[in-house]
Amino acid sequence: MAKFAIHDFKGVIPALVTPFDLDGSLNEGLLRGITASLVARGVDGLYLTGSTGEGFMMSPEERMRAVETVCAEVAGRIPVMVHVGAISTYQTVALARQAEAAGADAISSVPPIYWPFTPDQVANYYADVTASTSLPMVVYKIALAGEIGFELLARLAAMPGIEGVKYTAPTHFEIGRIKTEIGPDFRVFSGADEMAMSGLAFGADGLIGSFYNIIPELYADIVAAMAEDRIADAKALQDKANAIIFFTLKQYPMSAVKRIMAWQGADAGYCRKPFDNYETPEAEAALKDAYRAFRDAHGLAEIGFLPDL
């Protein structure tokens, strides 16, 4: 039975990475370790097996094992939301039911991908999946998985059990429209890390994203600054976060995030192919040198970014 309700999801929620070994094997030990580390660092929740978690690179059975591992490690200390999206309703329902059995507090899903499904088919998908558990559903709006326009989102929001949206798009004016026209109780989670300040300004209830795996404290400071109407402080913090994001995007991004987590004391393993990895000690050493120079050039050690690198 879920311990947390949908309104308990707020603040900084990492879209958790999934650790793999270089041979592609899921490493459950490392997964427990990064979960424990992020809980200790004070994150407000976790979002599992989404884009950042390489969910679509995993078999259904592996996704279930990952969810069970994280939920067991969290042990009810913070809310857990599980991305259960798949092409078929059948598979998504199975993932949703397992997430509930494992102890998740909410589920989330992209719309069914690959084929050009009609709005009615998308709506039926969400209705069937949401009805399969007692957990609240958070729709995942991201262009990579197909567009969910405002009209379709409003239609979905009227369905029982659909209680929020993970909004990964730059059109943040629409967050305000969601809060006004759909209603203030419909939860909105800003999913663009480089626009967290903007998402909060337009009414987002929380943040879900990749870089909260490595700089959650910086984003917690942004959340606090926005709550206290310290706009200049929030912008300065967002600028520092964006410098880290833009530099990382020039690397092998997800592999770099996982190596940074290792340097911070919580090894997150590697990515699955066809993603690239820093596979040799020489490659990782060169990456570390690049981050050390970047950190020093931007004065980021003072905010706690890789101070001991």
pLDDT digits (tens, 9 = 90+) for 179-232: 999 999 999 999 999 999 999 999 999 999 999 999 999 999 999 999 999 999
Q: What is the pLDDT of residue 143?
A: 81
* Angle in degrees, CA 190, 194, 199, rounded to 5: 30
Say if CB 19 and CB 34 are below 8 A apart.
yes
Give the CATH number of the domain where residue 221 resides. Answer: 3.20.20.70
Looking at the domain assignment, is residue 35 inside a domain? yes
What span, in angstroms and rounded, lies between the C-alpha atoms of 74 and 78?
7
Residue 103, CA distances (Å) to 93, 98, 177 in order: 16, 9, 33
Q: Cα separation of 177 and 140, whole Å? A: 17
Contact 291, 306 (CB under 8 A): yes
Residue 104: inside a domain: yes
**Max intra-chain CA distance, the chain:** 54
The pLDDT value recorded for residue 147 is 80
Mean pLDDT of all residues in 284-290: 98
State pLDDT tens for residues 126-147: 999 999 999 999 999 988 777 8
The model's confidence at residue 295, banded by pLDDT at 50, 70 and 90, is: very high
Contact by Cβ (8 Å): 203, 176: yes
Q: Would you state the pLDDT for residue 145?
A: 74
**What phi and psi, each to the nearest 5 degrees, are found at residue 207?**
-125, 130
pTM: 0.97
264 within domain boundaries? no
Is residue 60 exposed (0-12), middle (13-18) or buried (19+ Cβ within 10 Å)? middle
For residue 249, being part of any structural domain is answered with no
- E strands within 118-205? 137-142, 162-168, 187-190
39: in domain = yes
Q: Domain of 202?
A: 6-230
CB burial of 98-123 (b: ≥16 within 10 Å; e: otherwise) equals bbbebbbbbbbbbbbeeeebeeeebb
> Does 219 map to a domain?
yes
Q: Which residue has the tokens 């990782």?
A: 284
| Residues 100 and 137: beta-carbon distance below 8 Å | no
Query: Of 98, 209, 37, 127, whose CA–CA distance to 82 is shortest?
Result: 98
**Residue 170 located in a structural domain:** yes
Q: Is residue 9 very low, low, confident or very high in pLDDT (cuts 50, 70, 90)? A: very high
Give mean pLDDT, residues 280-305.
97
Instruction: Supply the residues annotated as catalytic.
Output: 140, 166
User: What is the number of domains present in the chain?
Assistant: 1
Domain membership flag for residue 27: yes
Q: What is the mean pLDDT of residues 71-94?
A: 98
Per cent of the chain over pLDDT 70 is 100
